[in-house]
Every structure is written in structure tokens, then in C-alpha cells.
Amino acid sequence: MRITIKDIAQRSGVSCSTVSRVLTNHPNVDPKTRERVKQVIDELGYRPSRIARGLVMGQINVVALIIGDIRNPFYAELTRAVKDTLNKEGYMVVVSDSDYDPQKEEIYIRAAEEYGFAGIIMITAMETEALIQQLEKLRCPVVLLNRYLPSVETDVISVDNYLGGYLAAEHLIKLGHRNIAHLAGFKNSSATRDRLRGFIDAHVHYGIQLNQERIVYGNLQMEAGYKFAKEYLSQNEDITAVFCGNDLMAMGLIEALYEEGKEIPRDISVIGYDDIDMASLARVKLTTIRQPQYEMGQTAAEVLIDRMKGKIGAPKRIIFTPKLIIRESTAEYKPGK
């Protein structure tokens, strides 16, 4: 049977309000009474309900973590870092998978606010007018991880995606590739836009004309890479290299190319983005752009903790540096392949 405040009050010979004051460390309690109530609490093994206490305080020690695709190993590592850091500070993390659906994101944010969550971390914020308006009115702190919204003033933890896109294109260009395609992520994603800008600027810097038709958008899942290889590359055989917006699409692309009898990187070079664990264990070890996943998630949680504890100041923008990781899936272009 669950022990209640009423049980403690009856055993201690005090009112329920006195017990509540003891539980919340209110100063207006006689020291002897406080000691007697605490002794009864220990004897009965009472454990206060955090939810009930949160309702009284107007907030509960729960954080909403909204991610785009729970199946993506990149998000799994970010989630692990966020949960590890917040759990140490006594916060519980509720993970919600939006499936990259802006309407689901809006629903999860609304629910977090209605339940009195202490804060929100969004890993894949899809830029929509509705989301922007919602975040501007939000009463609890929010940290954007791996994304930013230009028109919303909030804390942002990300990687330099512009540099990442530039490094990917530069690597392929230095290998001699000129007909390079880019399988990007979602159009309404800041990460996609920044990686694309870096990809384009690398071509400009090296004096290479970029065919805009070589830029195709995908859904960041393996199926997008698979479909891109089957439907696009099969009709554009002059392409010698592909930069994929994440490792999952790169792996799907490589799988489809092998089914078509292609060899990587002899017939076509492929570079991904993220450096998930699977990248070094794939059929062909994947060249990719590494993001410091755990450090990013940990930092996002630390910034949110500061906000939830009332630390004020200008919104923070912490940008990590990506790194080119060269493995087996890219090679020097050799004419007459």
C-alpha cells in the first residue's frame, strides 16, 4: 500500500500542511516537529511523488528530447549523451520520434509544455512558420541540437556544416573528380542548406562548373540512397563521385551499386556524413565527415541544465569542427573507367 502525506501526519500528530512544509524544506517549521516528521517518514519508507511535487512547483524534472528518426545511429548516440548528462543531474528524459514530420514536432512541444516539462532539446527541428511561432511563445527553455532556426533566438549546439560540406567536396575534387553529385537531406533543414553551400563553394574555389541537376534531396534513410543509385545514377553514368548528406544514405547507395555490378571506389567514389559506428564496418569502409556526436549531445544537455537552473544571458551558439575521415570508399579518378 502506498504511504501518503496523510499517513505521515496521523503518525506524527501534525497537520498535512506541516508535513508538506517539511518535505519542501520550508523554514516555518519548529525544529523538533521537523525532526519528528522526518523520523516518521524514514520509518514508513515514504517516497514523495515527483510528479505531484512538480505540479505544486509548476514544473517537473523531465526533459523532452525530440528526434527525427529513432532508427538513425547518429541520433542514438546524441540521445545517449543527452540522457547520460541529464540523468546525473536528476532529470528524466522522454524521447519522442517525429519521423521528420513538422506536425509531430509541434504536438510534442505542446505536450511538453502542457505537462510542465522543465525543458526541451530538439535534434532535428524542421523549419516551418508554425514551429517558429510556437518556439517564440514557449515558456520553458529549449536547446536546438544539430540544427538552428535563423529567425528564433535560442541556444544552438551544432557542427560547422558549411565546413563539412566543403571538406567533402574538396576531398573528391582533389582526387580528380569533376562530375560530382550531391544527395542532400531535407530542404527545410539548416544542416542540409549549410552542407550544400559548402559543397557549392568548394566547386567555385577550385574553378569547377557545378551542374545544379546533380543536387538531389533525400530523406536521410538508407532507402533514399538505394533509390538514388537505382533511378538517378543509372541514368547519369558520367557521375564519378557522390557526396551523401549522411552515412545511412551512403550505405544504401553502395548496396544498390553493388547490385548493379559496380565496384566502390573503382567505378564510383562515395562519401558520407556523420561517421556512425557502422561506417567503419560496412561492406566498403566509408569515407565520411565526422561529427563529435557524444560531445555535442553532452554540451546541449549542459546548456539546457544551466537554463533550467535560471542562468540567464544571451543565447549560446556552440559550433564544433567536423573532420574528414578517409577510408576505402573514395579513390583517385581514373579516366576511361
Which one, of 209, 206, 252, lies nearest residue 233 by Cα? 252
Are the beta carbons of 108 and 66 closer than 8 angstroms? yes
CA distance 176 to 69: 35
**Predicted pLDDT of residue 60:** 79
Which one, of 178, 292, 176, 282, lies nearest residue 225 by Cα? 282
Are the beta carbons of 149 and 131 closer than 8 angstroms? yes
**Predicted pLDDT of residue 319:** 97
User: What parts of the chain have a pLDDT lower than 50?
Assistant: 55-58
Three-class secondary structure of residue 289 per DSSP: strand
**Predicted pLDDT of residue 336:** 65
CA distance 78 to 72: 10
**Predicted pLDDT of residue 45:** 79
- Phi-psi sector, 42: left (phi>0), alpha (psi -120 to 50), beta: alpha
CA distance 120 to 98: 14
pTM over 0.85: no
**Predicted pLDDT of residue 49:** 57
One-letter identity of residue 331: A
**Predicted pLDDT of residue 151:** 81
The H or E element containing residue 142 is strand 142-145
Q: Which three cell numbers stand for residue 64?
A: 523532452
Q: Which three cell numbers stand for residue 232?
A: 538517378
Are the beta carbons of 309 and 293 closer than 8 angstroms? no
